[in-house]
Amino acid sequence: MPIRVAVDAMGGDDAPSVVLEGSLRAAKHAADRVELLLFGPEATLRAGLAEHDADGLPIQIVDAPEVIGMGESPVAAVKTKQQSSIHLGLGAHKQGHADAFVSAGNTGAVMAAALFILGRLPGVARPTLMGYFPTTQGMCYVVDVGSNVDCKPEQLVQFAQMGSIYAQCVMNVERPVVGLLNIGEEPGKGNEQVKETFDLLQQVDGLHFRGNIEGRDVLHHAADVVVCDGFVGNVLLKFGESVTSAFTQMIRDEMQAQQLGLEQQRTVGRVLGGVRERFNPDGYGGAPLLGTNGNVRIGHGSATPRAIEQMILAAATSVEQELKRHLAEAFAA
């Protein structure tokens, strides 16, 4: 039976056109795997689909007349716009009409609505937003990347547990290594929050905790799962997003300074392009919101059609691998 994915068709800087195109790509490439429910103003979405060849594709439009803008107050929008694509899409997931929900819309509104509508899994203090980082040895996963800027040590421990479960059951990492992001590797380093978290992580049964890691170690794959609060994680995420654009400009300037020939510049450009692709978030399927009583993925507002397609397919994978069940069983225990 196909996985039913509710899609916020009005979420993103260039919605609904980009979201529709990405949804069509997912439906065409995985027609036997997914069924899409597109939430947004019905007339707008039908007009948008009419510009494409959508006949026979597993796509259904669900009218959601209100739209939560990217710059709106998340809490106010969730309270006042209960007919929005975010609200109704998550409601369909809650009611079992959809197996997952994806959005590239207002991140704060999606998180607030997910908590309000889906609630937390029993035992989870706070859900966490997980980010992907390319490394010299594959991928690592950072929790949290912005959903919780002020955290207690007990919450960071739960982030570590949820990140480890995700890496194991969705990304097929056999025994995920967990590292605590800190200003030094030695025990006793860091502020009170991090020092207490270190002590607690050492006591968690079944968690492969290797200790503290430093910022310089992240891209060298010091751990499969990197734990930090959302303030630090979001700074790390935004810095990572700047790496490829800054390096590209630096390398171009250096090639000109060294007066490289055109063919040499093309060779360097091909190498650089391969590295840049590793940092391209479009291929990673957005950020999973771990710990809610559902399967929710959130994308960047500037998401491309490819990013939307990968978000939908990644959401389907989380459902197929029964991520919510694994998390629920772990915290029930």
Q: What is the reported pLDDT for 269?
A: 86
What number is the average pLDDT over the span 181-189?
93
For 131, phi then psi, to 5°, come to -115, 160
Q: What is the reported pLDDT for 265?
A: 87
Question: pLDDT at residue 281 above 80?
Answer: no
Question: pLDDT at residue 92 above 90?
Answer: yes
Question: pLDDT at residue 164 above 90?
Answer: yes
Question: pLDDT at residue 178 above 80?
Answer: yes
CB 180 within 8 A of CB 211: yes
Per-residue pLDDT tens over the stretch 24-63: 999 999 988 999 999 999 999 999 999 998 889 999 999 9
The average confidence (pLDDT) of the chain is 93
Sequence-ordered list of residues with C-beta below 8 angstroms from that of 27, at least 6 positions apart, any chain = 34, 36, 54, 57, 58, 59
Looking at per-residue confidence, does 117 or 240 come out higher? Answer: 117
Q: What is the reported pLDDT for 285?
A: 87
One DSSP character per residue, 205-233 reads TT-EEEEEE-GGGGGGTS-SEEE--HHHH
Question: pLDDT at residue 79 above 80?
Answer: yes
What number is the average pLDDT over the span 315-320?
96
Looking at per-residue confidence, does 55 or 295 come out higher? Answer: 295
Please identify, in words, the CATH class of the domain defined by 125-281. alpha beta
One DSSP character per residue, 264-279 reads HHHHHHHHHHHHHHHH
How far is 139 from 155, CA to CA, in rounded Å?
23
Question: pLDDT at residue 83 above 90?
Answer: yes
What number is the average pLDDT over the span 112-141?
94
Confidence band for 219, pLDDT divided at 50, 70 and 90: very high
Tokens of 190: 């860091």
How far is 234 from 243, CA to CA, in rounded Å?
14
Same fold? 1-120+291-321, 125-281: yes
Question: pLDDT at residue 127 above 80?
Answer: yes
Report how far apart the first and last C-alpha atoms of the chain are (Å, whole number).
30
Question: pLDDT at residue 74 above 90?
Answer: no
How far is 299 from 87, CA to CA, in rounded Å?
16
What number is the average pLDDT over the span 290-315?
95
CATH topology of domain 1-120+291-321: Isopropylmalate Dehydrogenase (3.40.718)
CB 287 within 8 A of CB 297: yes
What percentage of the chain reaches a pLDDT higher than 90? Answer: 76
Confidence band for 204, pLDDT divided at 50, 70 and 90: very high
Q: What is the reported pLDDT for 1?
A: 84
Question: pLDDT at residue 2 above 80?
Answer: yes
For 225, phi then psi, to 5°, come to -125, 125
One DSSP character per residue, 133-177 reads EEETTEEEEEE-SSS-SS--HHHHHHHHHHHHHHHHHTS--SS-E
How far is 185 from 212, CA to CA, in rounded Å?
5
Q: Domain locations in the chain?
A: 1-120+291-321, 125-281
Residue 55, Cβ neighbours under 10 Å: how many? 7
Looking at per-residue confidence, does 247 or 43 come out higher? Answer: 43
Question: pLDDT at residue 194 above 90?
Answer: yes
Tokens of 48: 């948008």
